[in-house]
A and B are shown apart, each in its own frame.
Chain A
Amino acid sequence: MEDKAGVEFVPSIVGFLCNWCTYAAADLAGSSKFALPPSFTVIRVMCSSRIDHNLLLSTYFKGADGILVAGCHPGDCHYGEGNYYARRRFALLKKVMETLNLDPERLQLSWVSASEGKRYAEVVGEFTEKIKELGPNPIKNSTRF
């Protein structure tokens, strides 16, 4: 997708990655030299369930085009069951966004384990493609937020 000036749209995506699984997978993807989109910003969190809704909302309202929350596969949480709670929290936020028609498809929750460097590259790549198709977050250029 290109804007009026013909410049290609590079989506800015923020990823909140769990320290034990997905962050390690990101590391592995890097050292395995898989191609990763340059506009993907990683924020490391100790557990996917520790991400407050306000962090995600703030990221969205400040103009991020996409937000990825990623953690260990269900059953593999370092703390036992954090990711099950994370899924509930995420479902709640997504429902709020959906009800308000604040494009919920800019939010994604994925499970990527520490050994899945390849899968990490795929998830990030596919999500980036999806956001490219969606276009820029309209709030990014709003004078009110």
Chain B
Amino acid sequence: MTDSELKGAVLPALKKPGGAVRDFLRLAMEKELADAVILPMKVPSGDSFAWILMNDISLLDDAVPIAATMPVQGAKALRSLTRKGPGNLKIIAVMRPCEIRAAMELSKLGQVHPENLILATYDCPGAVQLQKYVDDPAGSEEYFAGMLQKGKPDDSAKPVCHTCENFSMFDSDIHFGYLGLSEKEVLVIPGSEKGSALLEGLGLDLTKDLQAWEKGIDQLKADKLNSRKSTFEETKAQLNGFNGLLSVFANCIGCHNCQSACPICYCRLCYFDSETAEQDPDALITAAEKRGGISLPVDRIMFHTGRMAHMSLSCVSCGQCSDACPVSIPVADVFSYVADQTQRTFEYTAGRNDGDPLPLRQFRKAELPGVHELVKDADAEVPSHE
């Protein structure tokens, strides 16, 4: 997570972590170290949040840096701002770790240009499921306050939050840590040169060692890894071939909401929304004749499988797909498991900012033994090609 020499600065936090973050941002704006910030703010009806890009300090008072739920994945907000280039404004974005990880994946896809962004994360306790929040905002706020206090998700949270192992600092420029610390303490920890420069500019002294915080994180991480293991076992048992997929996605109405909500699926025209994906009526009739009958329209299983092949290497398990599903299919549980498997194949972790390109954009000459058919008696059959 962090090397042991790393230190953080203590922020005065009299209100809860969110208040400390707000004060930090106000200071950064006042000292003109940031031109603007991106934060969630309650929508006028009060039952959801929206990302607001603000350069007016007075707006900060109404912002909710650590929001209870995540209606739009933050990476989408960052993409809308920087997809054509980094821009001139220096902007601090405070987001959940999964949102920053998705932004990192999008930057590898050329969709986010983070050069002038300062990406800030916090110890994420999880997010309340969107539908639950919309149904009962006041109750959900109470649940979330409890989650924030304990630092971990409860039953109102998205299922993927329970199995999330990257809920804390993960290659962000700065991180706000509060787990394992006393209630009135919030740490700000630099994660990059950009982050260090910002903290220096603000005159914050990095004097606090991080042991207590790291211990808090490691404890929670161990719990989450256990729950991840058992949840994956359950998902694995459901995925028993084509019939397994049919029953998992049985209620799919083909709305493609999971894809629209996905931060990674940025393609302007998805194959599955194109004319090419439409089957020829004659072919359908032939298929029905051969098979004795077919369900219409076809290709719902193909849609989900195709999406797994296309985006699972970049999947950050943010759970937006499950939140967006109108018929409560556990899309994210399946995708999170498949992503774990495919990313393991290439020893890749989505969201890392270590200069490693996407797995499909690189290769090693000798790798992946057993993927291609092995040539019997290779020396005799195939001439040397190196």
Contacts and interface: CB of A to CB of B under 8 A. Distances in A.
A61 B302 contact: yes
Nearest to A77: B385
A81 B270 CA distance: 27
B14 interface: no
Interface in B218-234: none
Contact of A143 (B293, B305, B365): B293
B342 A95 contact: yes
Interface in B163-189: none
A145 B301 contact: yes
Interface string A44-67: 000000001110011001100000
A95 B242 contact: no
B211 interface: no
B360 interface: yes
B240 to A, nearest CB: 5
A40 to B, nearest CB: 15
A85 interface: yes
B292 interface: yes
Interface of B is mostly: helix
B298 interface: yes
B285 interface: no
Contact of B371 (A91, A101, A142, A143): A91
Interface residues of A, number: 47
Residue of A53, A92, A101, A139 most packed against chain B (CB within 10 A): A92
Nearest to B361: A85
B242 A110 contact: no
A106 to B, nearest CB: 12
Interface of A: 52-54, 57-58, 61-62, 73-76, 81, 84-85, 87-96, 98-103, 108-111, 113, 116, 119, 123, 127, 138-145
27 contacts: A54-B271, A54-B277, A57-B305, A61-B299, A61-B301, A73-B382, A87-B363, A88-B360, A90-B372, A92-B360, A93-B309, A95-B341, A96-B312, A96-B338, A99-B338, A99-B341, A100-B305, A100-B338, A102-B305, A109-B372, A111-B375, A127-B373, A142-B291, A143-B292, A144-B246, A144-B294, A145-B298
